[in-house]
């Protein structure tokens, strides 16, 4: 008996990761920032040390070749647009609820 291979969609995984070069934690932080949370709110919601956050932001800027955090967040918004179902269709702004952030811990 021959079994058909199971096919999975990689689009969702790539949408979550934003880019294959980023770790899962980095993608979560970047999504939260793209969703409008401040640095302090992200640290509080994810129970992250501010030094860890700053180090993570520096690493992401280097990986994505961005000069500053604003450029990095704009890059993330462009990557999320059209693939993330939580995008606000009227403004194109990603929305992350606080409950979705807590579930990712």
Q: What is the pLDDT of residue 67?
A: 94
Q: Number of structural domains, the chain?
A: 1
Would residue 4 count as lying in a domain?
Answer: no
- Walk along the chain (105 residues) and give the pLDDT tens digit of each residue: 566 665 544 444 444 556 788 888 998 899 899 888 999 999 999 999 999 999 999 999 999 999 999 999 999 888 887 665 554 444 544 455 555 455 544
**Cα–Cα distance, 26 to 18 (Å, whole number):** 9
Would residue 36 count as lying in a domain?
Answer: yes
**Cα–Cα distance, 53 to 37 (Å, whole number):** 13
- Tell me the residue range of the domain where 99 lies: 11-103
Would residue 80 count as lying in a domain?
Answer: yes
List the CATH number of the domain containing 50.
1.10.10.10
**Which 3 state secondary structure label does DSSP give 23?**
coil
- Which phi and psi angles does 49 have, rounded to 5°? -65, 140
């Amino acid at each position: 008996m021959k079994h058909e291979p199971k096919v999975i969609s990689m689009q969702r995984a790539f949408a979550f990761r934003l880019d294959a070069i980023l770790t899962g934690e980095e993608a979560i932080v970047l999504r939260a920032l793209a969703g409008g949370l401040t640095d302090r709110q992200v640290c509080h919601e994810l129970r992250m040390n501010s030094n860890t956050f700053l180090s993570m932001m520096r690493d992401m800027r280097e990986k994505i070749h961005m000069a500053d955090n604003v450029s990095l967040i704009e890059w993330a918004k462009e990557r999320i647009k059209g693939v993330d179902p939580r995008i606000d269709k009227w403004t194109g702004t990603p929305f992350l609820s606080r409950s979705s952030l807590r579930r990712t811990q």
